[in-house]
Each structure stands twice: as C-alpha cells, then as structure tokens.
Structure 1
Amino acid sequence: MAPVAISWTEREFEQLDLGDARLNKRARILMERFAADPTASVPKACQGWGETMAAYRFFDNNSVDWQAIMAPHWQQTAQRMAALPVVLCLQDTTELDFNGQRAFGLGPLSYEAQRGMYLHPTYAVTPAREPLGIIDAWMWAREKKDKTGARGGPKESLRWIEGYERIAEMAVQLPATRLVYVADREADLVPLMLRAQELGAPADWLVRAKHNRCLPDGDKLWEHTGAGAPIGELTFAMAARHGVKAHTVRQQLWVRTVSLPAGKGKSVVATCVIAREIDAPDGVKPIEWRLLTNRKAATPEAVVELIDWYRARWEIEMLFDVLKNACRVEAMQLGSITQLERALALFMVVAWRIARLMRLGRTCPDLDAELFFDPDEIQAAYLLRKKTPPDKPRLNDVLRQVACIGGFLARKSDGEPGVKTIWLGLKDVHVAVETIRTLREIGALKSCV
C-alpha cells in the first residue's frame, strides 16, 4: 500500500483550533483548494456545489475569527524564527480595491470614490530573503470624510507603532533571535522611535527616512549626515524596473549618529545612513536611500549590512504581488468585510508558500524536495513533463519542473523561475495530483501509468 502523503497544509495548520472539528476540517480543505488553484474563484476552486456552499457558510460563520485561522501559521512561523540568529520583520500597507462590489463594511481608498480595504501585515524573512511567514496583520476599512473633511476612526499611523510593539513582544519570547523591524518611509515616525527607546529596543528598527528634520544644533538631518567624505562604497545588481534597464548600482556611503528631537524635552538617539548612487546611466535617476536605525554602524561593513536588510523589504512587495495577481483576492465576491478577512487569512498563507518556494529554490536548491512537496506533487510535476523523477529529487529540480509547466523556458540565460510561472505551474500540478489520487482510489493507477 502506498504511504499516505502529509500535505503542507496539514503540517502548517496542525495546531488549528476554531472551536469545532468540522470548522477545522473545512479550513484545511479550503487552504488545499486555494493552494491548488490560486487564480480560481471560490466556486471554481471548490469541488462541486456542496463544497462551494460549505465554503461560503464558513466565510459567513460569525464564530470564526480570522486571527484564529492564522494562529497556527503564526506559531509555525515563530518556530522557524527561533532557529535563526537574525530575522527581518518587514511591514507595509497595501490597498485592496473592491470597487464595484457590494460587500458591506468597505470604505474609501486613496481616492474617495474607490471602495475597498487595507491590509498591513508583518512579514518575517531571513537576511538572505527566505520568507518565514506572516506574524501579524492589520485589516481595516476607512471611514468616509465628514462635511468638514475630517475622517473618523482610529489613527492609521498607530499601526506602525503597534506593529513594532508586537515584534518587541516576540523578541522577548525569542531571546536567541535578534528581530529587526524594517519599513519604508511611512514608518518614519518619531513616536515609533521613542516607543522603541522607552521599551529598551528589545527589537531593532530600520526605516527609510521621509523627513529632513532639524537637529538640535540647527543643521538639517540629511545635509549633516552627507557632509564630508564617504566612508565606503557598495555595489550591487539592480533588476529592470518601471522602464529602466537592469544595471549595476554603485553607491557611496555616509553615516552619522544623531539626536532627533522628540518633543517636550525628549530626544531619540539614532544612526542615519545615506547611500547615494554615482555614475548612474544616462537618463536614469540616481538611487539614493536615507535610512534611520537604532543600531550602531561604525564600519562600512555594518552600513552595508543595514542597506542589505532594507533592500530585503522588496519581499513584502512580492507577497502583495502574489496575493493580488496569483490569488486574485480583489476579485472575491463576498458579502462583507468580515467575510473578506476570513478569506484573506487563508490566502495570505497561500501567498507566503508560493513566495517561499521561489526564494528557497534559489538560495537552498539542494534541499530535499519532500520537505516542501508531497510525493504525489513530485510525481505529477515529472509526469506532466514526461520525465522520470530521480530517487531523491532536490527542491530546485522539482521547482523548475513546476515552473516549466507554468511557462518557464529554462534557458541558460533565463536564470531561476519567478513566482508567476511557479503559481501557474502549481495549478496544473494539482490537477494532475487529483487525477493520480482518483486513479489510486479506484485501483486503476497501475494500468494507467
């Protein structure tokens, strides 16, 4: 008898507890269905009318809290973090546009006429950019502006501060792991830095500076930091973006320790880093980053490390890309924001898994593929490629088969596959997996392979 394969959802959601065994089972089934075909609508992802109706009942069940759905993933992520010396905790916000849909509880977006909601997760990755999982999330809809132009509801900047506090709490629980809060310019908030200082900075923070603040001696922050000779240089490859061709970036580096006024006689001691591109290609705007952190950076190597950590922030943008374009969450037809939150809790984990497979295939290609794919998935990937799987397939071997099914050409000049060909390939692989399992159940597998 063939061994029963343990799916990744069973491992990731082993500790799921929604208060009812039937709800636990339904959540795991939905995760399997969404992971099998991330681009499908709920009816298409489900197998039959009965399962589709059960899915909608699950999303409409007021006893199901979206945080309880994500809780086992948070726990698994914390275990992965505990095994590492440094973990980057990336934070950012994305708009989810449900314009034209009738879901109750949605609100305006950047344009007042748009309807949708906001998602603000904390995404844990290694310094080598391996996604470990999502450890926290805010989901909300804005209130409409009143006649005076004021908007009610909680102050949205609090999400950055509360996000740091959550990371600080985790840092106490993970004493052997140094956590680093990493965020873009919207997190350049003195109250956040002051709060971290008051807590004793159990977690480090690293944010891109938005404000050229006045320093106590009257100097401006950026001019003060960038004065004098650079302490070193950094060179890295920049991928193509927004009509700009890929090119090698060469930046000069400056660093200063500064005291930032924090009101009422208070101040925050911080390190300011400036990385400024030189010799940029003609017609290309030079890349300049200005960073603030609580960490000391006395050497060029320490400054380069901080910049590398900030550059890893791109991983959360990739997570949003998978969530919107692979999982197509903005196309969901659900009746209320609470139903959307429950669905998003599942899709965030699906998006993480796709992004993690892509990154691990690049950074740890020789890992045993069975750590990430069950035997049926491996068999299906090779079957669709009309190839015989090796006895001990590597992660990168299987991932490239999946990506080729999704349209990756695998030429020498193509490098490693991206997330899009992986998610498209996974869709076909899971169809083949269902076929293999059905044939096995009816005893016809040997005669059909």
Structure 2
Amino acid sequence: MLMERFAADPTASVPKACHGWTETMGAYRFFGNDSVDWRDILAPHWQQTQQRMGAEPVVLCLQDTTELDFNGQEAIGLGPLSYEAQRGMYLHPTYAVTPQREPLGVLDAWMWARQKRDKFGKRGGPKESLRWIEGYERIAEMALELPSTRLVYVADREADLMALMLRAHELGTPADWLIRAAHNRCLPDGEKLWQRTVSGKPVGEIAFTMGSRHGVKARTVRQQLWVQRVDLPAGEGKTVAATSIVAREFDAPAGAKPIEWRLLTNRSAASLDDAIQLIDWYRARWEIETLFNILKNACRVEALQLSAIERLERALALFMVVAWRIAHLMRLGRTCPDLDADLFFDPDEIRGAYLLTSVKQPAKPTLNEVLRLIARLGGFLGRKSDGEPGVKTIWLGLKEVHVAAKTLRGLRAVDDGDNCV
C-alpha cells in the first residue's frame, strides 16, 4: 500500500501521500519496525529485476554513490558528508539497464553513514572502497545464475581500483568490467598507461549527441579513439590484462571544455566497432545519475522526517523502486510508444490525464500518448523541437493525475445519481 501511495504522488511528504491519519501513523510504524530489514523490502524487486535481466543478451550493471544531505535533522546514526559539518548518509546502488538504456531495476545497494574523524584524522568503520569490490562480487554471483545474459559492471573513476580488477581475475571474470580510469599507471616497461594508449594513430572516430544537463545545452560531440591492450601491474609480480581506451573530443565549440574519457576494461576491442560499443556502454552510465535525480528531486528523500538512519534505510528501499518506475515509464514511452497504457496506469489515471488536458480519450490509449499528456501537466510543451518528455515533467504530471484519479473515485463513491462519472 505504501508503494502505491508513494508511486502515485512521488513529490508528496509521507503524511500527504498517505490517506489520512491512520495510514500516516501506519507508515511511520512500518519505518520504525526493527524487525523489518530494508533488504527484505527490496527482495521482491531484486527477484523481478533478475527475471527481466534474464530476457536480455547484455545487461549493464551501473554502480555509483550519492550523498544524501539531512543537515539540520536530528536523526540518530547520521554522519559527516563531503564537508565535515554536514550530516547525512551515503547510498550506493547497482542499477541494471540494457545497452539501449531501458531501466530493468535496482540489483543491490549499500547504505551507510561515515564515522567522525578521530584526533589523528582517521575514520573508523569498514573501508569504503570495499563497496566497489563487493558490488562486483554480487554481479559475478548473478552472472552464474544468468548464463544466457552477459553482465557488464560499469562504474566511474572512483572504481579504478587494482583490487577490484584483481578480484575479478581471481573469480575468472564471470562478469565483464568497464571502468573510467583515474590513475595513469606505470606499466611493467616503465611507460605510463595513457601515453602508451595514444602513442599511435587513432583507430577511428565516434560522433554522438550529448544531451543537455546542468544548464548546458545539448551538442554534437566528435571524438577520436585510441585502443591499446596492456598488462597492468597488480603487485608481487602479478599483472591483469586490460584494454585501455582513450576517447578525445576534437573541434569542440568555442567556450566548451573538450570531453575526454579514459576507460579500462577486461574486454578486447579488436575493431573500431568494438571500441564504439564500449564507449556507448559507458555513456549509458548516465542513467544512474537520472535515478539519483528522481530520488532527490521527485521523491524528495532528503526531506524525509524520520528519527533514525534505520528508518531512513527502509524508506529509501521503497523510494528506489518508485524512482525506477518513473525512469522505466519515461524510457518505455520512447522505445515502446504503442504499448497499451492500461498496462501501466489504472483507468482513472488515464481518464484523469485526458480530462485535465481537455483531449478526447480514444478507445485504446497508448503509453506514449498518456505519458505526453501527463508530462504536459508537469510543464512539457510538446512542440516538435521538444522531443520526448523527461523524468521531471513526468513526475510533476503524475502528481496532478493522482489528484484527478482520486477525485473520480470519490465522485463515483457518492453515487447519488446526479453525476455522470
């Protein structure tokens, strides 16, 4: 019931999302129930996500960390963030998407709060870099359960850890890994990694559209690609074989910082097409940033008023599924626009979208038609140049549709014979 309430009105606070005082108190009792573990809440979603993964030939398992700022709140168990004076916690999920960027669901998560530094400037608790290694181990276990699906671990520069690559090698690399490099490592012959990679001619070029983000307009990016197979030192005479890729933008617009990516992967790239595929897989990493955006700005998880970190963890388990649902709707509206809308919305939500936009409802509304109407209620203009709606206008529109559906149900319940609802 809580999942239905939060999914119907993702921007609402707990009291507003719930239907009355009884449900509100029930929600807070649920979050405060020490016998409920947040992993148990997510377990059914994990199972369904794994089933969806089994139907795909390739699945990208994206990992990243975001900090949740609860500064000013008195929740027990919170810790410092990037700035020592801030109070909050960290969330590190594994997010499964297809190479076409269709979100399949959340696979795993770490949630924790940092301990304060001691007088020597050190923190207690587990080493935070372990989350990247354990995240790969979880994906490796799943790869054995999905023999027909290739799993690819994709992460940003913080995951550039030799311990992770060595662990994957020790396990026999059941899942591929693709990581943005942070360290210009010294190779066994003394040459530096990045200099070795770009020492020859580029193998070719790639061009793609970089979407707008953080106030920066969308633009076309053209990059030259260099590829080199190398042996990375792994200590005690050990090495790990990897492919190093450098993608360097050329002819960038005036005033724009050229985009350069340095990637490491266990996979070989024997051709230009192989290298382009790996670049495309890395570009899909942005989908986990979309998930974080929905969690913070649509679900407004940083506004949760809960008294302990354990309660926040239970709430976050629910909201991660809500955030995935919004992202999933947006992507399916683009890739499968002709699906029946009633597969995703109940009849009152569909009718509410048409009533609020003064559009005549057809006999079989499609997913894309209903999503565009919902997005219009959230501020989407729907001009030819606007493309398809994004997650922000969808989540804002869902709030309006929820109110309309609730009104329709209320009018029907009156049943006084004076309405035609």
Q: Cα deviation per residue 1:214-267 (whole Å; 9 max; x = unaligned)?
A: 000111000100111100100011123445432211100010110000111111
The one-letter code of the counterpart of 1:69 is I
Write the distance in 2 (CA, Å) between the matches of 1:304 and 1:443: 61
The one-letter code of the counterpart of 2:311 is Q
Q: Cα deviation per residue 1:347-378 (whole Å; 9 max; x = unaligned)?
A: 11111111111111112212222222222221
Alignment of 1:91-240 (within 5 A): 91-240=63-212
Write the distance in 2 (CA, Å) between the matches of 1:244 and 1:146: 41
Q: Cα deviation per residue 1:258-277 (whole Å; 9 max; x = unaligned)?
A: 00001111111000111000
Is the 1:244–1:284 contact (alpha carbons within 8 Å) kept by the matching residues of 2? no
Partner of 1:414: 386
Partner of 2:269: 297
Write the distance in 2 (CA, Å) between the matches of 1:368 and 1:438: 26
Q: Tell me, what secondary structure is at the counterpart of 1:381?
A: helix
Q: Tell me, what secondary structure is at the counterpart of 1:448?
A: coil
1:44 matched to 2:29? The reply is no
Q: Tell me, what secondary structure is at the counterpart of 1:417?
A: coil
How far does residue 317 in structure 1 lie from its aligned partner after superposition?
0.3
Partner of 2:365: 393
How far does residue 446 in structure 1 lie from its aligned partner after superposition?
8.2
1:344 matched to 2:353? The reply is no
The one-letter code of the counterpart of 1:92 is D
How far does residue 306 in structure 1 lie from its aligned partner after superposition?
0.3
What TM-score does the superposition give when structure 2 sets the normalisation length? 0.98
Write the distance in 2 (CA, Å) between the matches of 1:203 and 1:409: 42
Q: Which moved further from structure 2: 267-276 or 244-253?
A: 244-253
Q: Which of residues 367, 375, 389 in structure 1 aligns to 2:339?
A: 367
Q: Which moved further from structure 2: 367-376 or 216-225?
A: 367-376
The one-letter code of the counterpart of 2:210 is M
Q: Which of residues 296, 310, 326 in structure 2 aligns to 1:354?
A: 326
How far does residue 448 in structure 1 lie from its aligned partner after superposition?
3.4
Write the distance in 2 (CA, Å) between the matches of 1:318 and 1:445: 47
Q: Tell me, what secondary structure is at the counterpart of 2:246?
A: strand
Is the 1:257–1:269 contact (alpha carbons within 8 Å) kept by the matching residues of 2? yes
Write the distance in 2 (CA, Å) between the matches of 1:234 and 1:119: 33
Instruction: Give unpaired runs (5+ residues) of structure 2.
Output: none
What TM-score does the superposition give when structure 1 sets the normalisation length? 0.92
Write the distance in 1 (CA, Å) between the matches of 2:59 and 2:220: 27
Is the 1:171–1:177 contact (alpha carbons within 8 Å) kept by the matching residues of 2? yes
Instruction: Give unpaired runs (5+ residues) of structure 1.
Output: 1-28
The one-letter code of the counterpart of 1:218 is G
Q: Which moved further from structure 2: 50-59 or 332-341?
A: 50-59
The one-letter code of the counterpart of 2:130 is L
Is the 1:436–1:445 contact (alpha carbons within 8 Å) kept by the matching residues of 2? no
Write the distance in 2 (CA, Å) between the matches of 1:78 and 1:217: 43
